[in-house]
């Protein structure tokens, strides 16, 4: 399974100052109402107001605690083993989380002195500090992290874009496994609770009403009713369909729970609750064990379902 998107955040008055400082090669700390100098919090923990006093602090400090990363994953600071550490910068009264570049875990220790290794080209992000290194490391040690264009000097940094890249392997339960194998045969399979008789699709291992295993397999129709829906008008990175289009919850005939899918082949302005729809399957040679075997749902042209038939599924 893969989830990819770019998270765009406006920084606000406090983090904007901090990130602008990083772009300019300085670490700025905030002074709280209690007189503590700390990495800038968006709100003072006592007054609940944004800090207004900032001062530059050293880019050297002490490792307070750390963890070794023997097998880095994609998008981490290094492709080789490294440490993540909480670092108390000199003159600062709380810690900053960052990477420490050392050859081996045996070279890390609590209490070791470290200093920042800055990127040559900075944009106003925490990664403008490529990492921390032992303070005694040669000053000429190069920054080997990927370089990025320098942001315009003098202009405040008001936002950041953080790529989110999530890859994971999904282990299907026995009930879900049967559901996915059914899709590979062009069938939609659900599970029925032996006590209350509710049918769940995609199936669940236990009925959330009774807590009993859903042991009875049920084959469902690929026709159903739109319960609720959303018209997507805003484009986003990686979007495969040009807006506007509709994402809808479809209650299949015989099911007691609706599931989310695309609703196409209809003007979004004409979509409505109660609309009768049917699955549009991809060509059989493209089928896998995936819900994407159903390309989308499309209107059947039949009269809308009566509200009472789906009002309990909104």
Question: Would you place residue 142 in the very low, low, confident or very high pLDDT band (cuts 50, 70, 90)?
Answer: very low
Q: Which residues contact 270 (CB under 8 A, 6 or more apart)?
A: none
Q: Could you write out the three-class secondary structure of the chain?
A: CEEEEEEEEECHHHHHHHHHHHHCCCEEEEECCCCCEECCCCCCCCCCCCCCCEEEECCEEEEEEEEEECCCCCCCCCCCCEEEEEEEECCCCCCEEEEECCCCHHHCCCCCEEEEEECCCCCCCHHHEEEEEECCCCCCCCCCCCCCCCCCCCCCCCEEEEEEEEECCCCCCHHHHHHHHHHHCCCEEEEECCCCCCEECCCCCECCCCCCECCEEEEECCEEEEEEEEEECCCCCCCCCCCCEEEEEEEECCCCCCEEEEECCCCHHHCCCCCEEEEEECCHHHCCCCHHHEEEEEECCCCCCCHHHCHHHC
Q: pLDDT at residue 152 above 70?
A: no
Q: What is the pLDDT of residues 248-301, one digit of tens each?
A: 999 999 999 999 999 999 999 999 999 999 999 999 999 999 999 999 999 999
Residue the block writes with tokens 């397999």: 217
Among 282, 310, 314, smallest CA distance to 295 is for: 282
Give this prediction's pTM: 0.63
Mean pLDDT (the chain, rounded): 91
Q: What is the mean pLDDT of residues 33-47?
A: 93
56: its two tokens: 């530059």
How confident is the model at residue 140, as a pLDDT? 44
pLDDT one-digit tens code per residue, 166-225: 888 988 889 999 999 999 999 999 999 999 999 999 898 899 888 999 988 999 999 999
């Amino acid at each position: 399974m893969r989830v990819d998107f770019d998270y765009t955040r406006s920084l606000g008055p406090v983090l904007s100052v901090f990130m602008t400082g990083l772009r300019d090669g300085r670490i700025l700390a905030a002074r709280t109402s209690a007189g503590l100098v700390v990495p800038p919090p968006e709100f003072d923990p006592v007054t609940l107001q944004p800090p207004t006093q900032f001062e530059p602090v050293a880019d050297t400090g002490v490792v307070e605690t750390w963890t070794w990363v023997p097998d880095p994953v994609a998008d981490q600071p290094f492709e080789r083993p490294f440490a993540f550490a909480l670092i108390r910068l000199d003159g600062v009264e709380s810690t900053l989380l960052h990477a420490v570049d050392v050859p081996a875990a045996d070279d890390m220790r609590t209490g070791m002195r470290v200093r920042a290794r800055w990127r040559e080209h900075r944009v106003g992000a925490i990664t403008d500090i490529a990492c921390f290194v032992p303070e005694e490391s040669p000053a000429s040690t190069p920054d080997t992290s990927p370089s990025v264009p320098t942001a315009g000097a003098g202009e405040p940094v008001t936002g950041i874009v953080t790529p989110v890249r999530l890859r994971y392997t999904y282990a299907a339960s026995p009930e879900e496994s049967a559901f996915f194998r059914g899709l590979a045969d062009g069938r939609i399979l659900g599970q029925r609770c032996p006590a209350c008789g509710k049918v769940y699709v995609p199936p669940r291992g236990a009925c959330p009403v009774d807590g009993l295993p859903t042991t009875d397999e049920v084959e469902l129709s690929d026709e159903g009713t739109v319960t609720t829906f959303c018209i997507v008008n805003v484009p986003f990175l990686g979007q495969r369909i040009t807006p506007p289009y509709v994402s809808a919850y479809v209650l299949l005939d015989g099911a007691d729970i609706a599931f989310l899918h695309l609703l196409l082949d209809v003007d979004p302005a004409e979509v409505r609750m109660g609309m009768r729809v049917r699955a549009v399957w991809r060509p059989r040679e493209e089928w896998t064990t995936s819900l994407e075997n159903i390309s989308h749902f499309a209107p059947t042209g039949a009269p809308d379902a009566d509200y009472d038939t789906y009002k309990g599924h909104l």
